[in-house]
Amino acid sequence: MSASTQPRALPRTVVRIGFVASLLLLIASAIAFYYATLAAQKGRRTTAASTVVTITGQACEPNELRVSAGRNIFQIANRSDRAVEWEILDGVMVLEERENIAPGFTQELTTRLDPGDYAITCGLLSNPRGKLHVLPVANAGPAAKPNLTAFIGALAEYKVFLTTETDAFAKAADAFADAVKSGDLAAAKAAYLPAQIAYAHIAPVSPLFSDLETAIDARADAFGQREADPAFAGLHRLEYGLFSQGGLQGLAPVADKLAADAAALKARIHDLRIMPESMAGGAAAILERAAAAGPGFGDSPYAHADLPTFEATIAGARKAFDLLRPMAIKTAPEIVAAIDKDFAGLDETIATHRAEGAEALADPAKAELGKAAIALATDLSRLRDTMDLSQ
């Protein structure tokens, strides 16, 4: 062009070829765009119900909209004589917008909305803003149902938690077995509780490996001859031997079996596919079980470490709930609030008993904690049903 000299000779042929090639590409994409437009036009016309908003010179008509939560389609018709942009605002934050709507144009905006009250802009800045009320969908219709992809992060984090806790359980089981086999009753007794607590943390998903669950955590009631039954094994068999019978005789094979089961559980958890439903539903189920009155309370019928085992069960359930919370609070904020209250109440009661210094609990205390745990379990089940997690 204006340059009289070429300081850097660009490879002329390459530039020419590039020029022609990019021009051809432009023509090709214009043709592709044209056909895509035709195809899209045919495919359309099956538009679902939409909300029409007309922007006049002074305001939106209607100036107050009510829609249901979930996917919404807005048809924005500009009947003013100015170019407008239409925004849905949450406070100052722009949630969605459509720009450059020329006078006489109608444009569409499709978006998913959570329940709440929003503002909408209506043309000129000086025009009053409209209101958009997004109402929660009754009976938890499909619109309120969180997408499974929303849970990916929570599920991954829960998997990490389970893996860590299973590792801890396997280590505790090994230590337990070593203590039992070395004949050290005091050490064996001391090794019991850590294993029980680590196992209680992963209990919400125990229905997903029911064979190992039976081998590790079955209680004497499940056997025909109760404690005397030769099939009675696992954590509670060891607990029974150590704390009720006060000896180590016959426990070595049981301890070895427990360590082997713990190792198998590690592999099983590694391959486990968890769904959000097992997080909420499993937590509820395990709480109900831990709350059972009587000697089974807190899963420590012989050692009477009622408080720590109960607390560990609560902690396991809480982990699952905390991970579900960001999704749950959108769908069912009032249930989340109820669950928070349940947990806070349990924390307080547990702290009171801890201050008293007794691990074993008297029956009235068990009944009180049991009642609170049942309330929590009920709310967790409610959450599972409302969020419709069984997808």
**Binding footprint of other proteins on the chain (CB under 8 A):** 1-10, 15-16, 18-19, 22-23, 25-26, 28-30, 32-33, 35-37, 39-40, 43-44, 81-83, 87, 91-100, 102-110, 124-126
Q: What does residue 11 show for φ and ψ, rounded to 5 degrees?
A: -60, 105
In the complex with other proteins, the residue whose CB is nearer, 124 or 272, is 124
- Shortest separation between residue 58's beta carbon and other proteins, angstroms: 13
In the complex with other proteins, the residue whose CB is nearer, 171 or 330, is 330
- Shortest separation between residue 29's beta carbon and other proteins, angstroms: 4
**CB of 170 within 8 A of CB of 150?**
no
- Shortest separation between residue 347's beta carbon and other proteins, angstroms: 35
**CB of 199 within 8 A of CB of 235?**
yes
CA atoms within 13 A on the CB side of 183: 0
In the complex with other proteins, the residue whose CB is nearer, 50 or 381, is 50
CA angle 227, 191, 245 (to 5 degrees): 30
CB burial readout 247-280, b (16+ within 10 A) else e: ebeebeebbebbbebbebbeeebeebebbbebbb
Closest CA to 258 of 358, 310, 184, 191: 191
In the complex with other proteins, the residue whose CB is nearer, 99 or 348, is 99
- Shortest separation between residue 69's beta carbon and other proteins, angstroms: 19
- Shortest separation between residue 57's beta carbon and other proteins, angstroms: 12
In the complex with other proteins, the residue whose CB is nearer, 6 or 249, is 6
Q: Which two tokens stand for residue 345?
A: 């109440």
In the complex with other proteins, the residue whose CB is nearer, 84 or 258, is 84
Q: What does residue 113 show for φ and ψ, rounded to 5 degrees?
A: -120, 140
- Shortest separation between residue 154's beta carbon and other proteins, angstroms: 23
In the complex with other proteins, the residue whose CB is nearer, 26 or 344, is 26
Q: What is the torsion angle, in degrees rounded to the nearest 10, for the CA atoms of residue 149, residue 153, residue 154 and residue 159?
A: 110
- Shortest separation between residue 86's beta carbon and other proteins, angstroms: 10
**Which amino acid would we find at residue 306?**
D
